[in-house]
Structure 1
Amino acid sequence: MKATERIAANLFGAIFITLALAVTAETLLRKLFGTSLQGVDELGGYALALGSTIAFTLALLDRSHIRIDLIHRRLPRSLRTALNLVSMLLMAGLALSLCGMAWIQVRETLDYGSTAPTPWATPLIYPQSAWFAGLVLFTLASLALLLRGIWLLRAGRREDFDRDYGPRGLEDELREELDDLRQRGLTTPDAGAPTGPEVTA
């Protein structure tokens, strides 16, 4: 999953860096030469659609979706586990629903040969196929996490399940930040504190 998360994050960044460069080029062309690419706004729409589907997957893998844990953490352990499982079932159901509706849209676009009502007249099957692929990735990730969670429960590893599928707590975020600092060489392996230059008065 970490490899998938890294690839998705890099793709997400590449999409919006490309969009930023296109917007910069459009601005300079209009300002300096009085001309336009006549399609950057269209490109921005495609980037937003594809970037959103990738963000779905990133948020899922990183457990970044907002969950109100004020009551959750005070519940009995068995009920917390049940709620964590229900949340994964609902997420997988949502992903399957989105993917199914997107497939209907892609099929209609393919049947009618739809094009964008813009100067580029882009065949919509191309951006919609990329959008659909992003939703497929989100669906596969949701199902994979759900199946792994069920396997953990069947194996009696409830503590691992709650740790990996429960809401992220302050300790989880702190641990991830320290791990990130270690990977960048900014902390010592034993101390776990930043090792930058000392600050003197």
Structure 2
Amino acid sequence: MHRFIVFVSWLFGLLLVGLSLFVTLETVMRKIFGASLQGADELGGYVLAVSGALAFTIALSERAHIRIDLLYTRFSPTVQAALSWLASLSLALFGLFVARYIWLVIHDTLTYNSTAPTAWSTPLIYPQAIWYGAMLIFTLASLWMFGRASRLFFTGQFDRLNAEFHPKTAQEELAEELSDMERR
């Protein structure tokens, strides 16, 4: 899973760097040559949609989704495990919900043969299919994580569930940052 997340992180970064370069080129061309490539905003929307879906997957694997843990550490390990299991369930349900509604959007796009109302007139099925694929990656990852959390929860392995699924503490985040800084 770690290799996959590294790949997704690189893809996420490359998409954003590519968008930045395109916007820079667009800006320079407008200022110097008075010409435009058109569609920087359209491309930006597509990149942000795909990047957002990829970011969901990265946050899932890194336990970086926001959870309010003010009381979490004061609960017993059993209650913590139940809360972690519920968090994994909610992420899986969110993934299924979004995947279903993106599919409905794609269905409408195919039905109406929709194109973007921009200079490029992009057939929307292409960027939407990529977006859907990125969102399906998150959905499948969240379902896999939920399955793992469920197996640990229902076999009574609360300590292991808590170790793998609890929200990161400030100390864990600090240790990760310091470790990353040492590597650089």
Q: Distance in 1 between the 2:162 and 2:170 partners?
A: 15
The 10-residue stretch of structure 1 (26-35 or 154-163) with the greater mean CA deviation from structure 2:
154-163
1:150 maps to which residue?
Answer: 150
2:73 maps to which residue?
Answer: 73
Q: Distance in 1 between the 2:155 and 2:144 partners?
A: 16
- Report 1:31-70 matches (<5 A): 31-70=31-70
Structure 1, unmatched stretches of 5+, are: 187-201
Q: CA deviation at 1:111?
A: 1.8
Q: What is the Cα-based RMSD across aligned positions, in Å? A: 1.4
Aligned residue type for 2:67:
R
1:19 maps to which residue?
Answer: 19
Q: CA deviation at 1:181?
A: 4.4
> Does the alignment pair 1:117 with 2:117?
yes
Per-residue deviation, residues 55-76 of structure 1 (Å, max 9, x unmatched): 1111111111111111111112
Q: CA deviation at 1:5?
A: 1.0
Q: CA deviation at 1:175?
A: 3.3
2:166 maps to which residue?
Answer: 166
Q: Distance in 2 between the 1:26 and 1:181 partners?
A: 35
1:191 maps to which residue?
Answer: none
The 10-residue stretch of structure 1 (166-175 or 8-17) with the greater mean CA deviation from structure 2:
166-175
Q: CA deviation at 1:170?
A: 2.3
Tell me if structure 1 keeps the 8 A contact 2:46–2:127.
yes
Q: CA deviation at 1:160?
A: 1.5
The number of residue pairs the alignment matches comes to 184
Q: CA deviation at 1:178?
A: 4.3
SS at match of 2:63: coil
SS at match of 1:116: coil
- Larger relative CO (CA 8 A, sep 6+): 1 or 2? 2
Q: CA deviation at 1:108?
A: 1.2
Q: CA deviation at 1:174?
A: 3.1
> Does the alignment pair 1:177 with 2:174?
no
Q: Distance in 2 between the 1:177 and 1:43 partners?
A: 33
Q: CA deviation at 1:52?
A: 0.8
Q: Distance in 2 between the 1:127 and 1:28 partners?
A: 26
What fraction of aligned residue pairs are identical, expressed as a percent?
A: 43
Tell me if structure 1 keeps the 8 A contact 2:77–2:159.
no
Aligned residue type for 1:133:
G
1:192 maps to which residue?
Answer: none
Aligned residue type for 1:13:
G
Q: TM-score, normalised to structure 2's length?
A: 0.94
Q: CA deviation at 1:154?
A: 4.2
Tell me if structure 1 keeps the 8 A contact 2:81–2:162.
yes
Aligned residue type for 2:41:
D
Q: Distance in 1 between the 2:152 and 2:81 partners?
A: 11
Look at both structures and tell me which one has the larger radius of gyration over its CA atoms: 1
Per-residue deviation, residues 132-191 of structure 1 (Å, max 9, x unmatched): 011100001101111111222344432111011111112322332344345x2x6xxxxx
Q: TM-score, normalised to structure 1's length?
A: 0.87
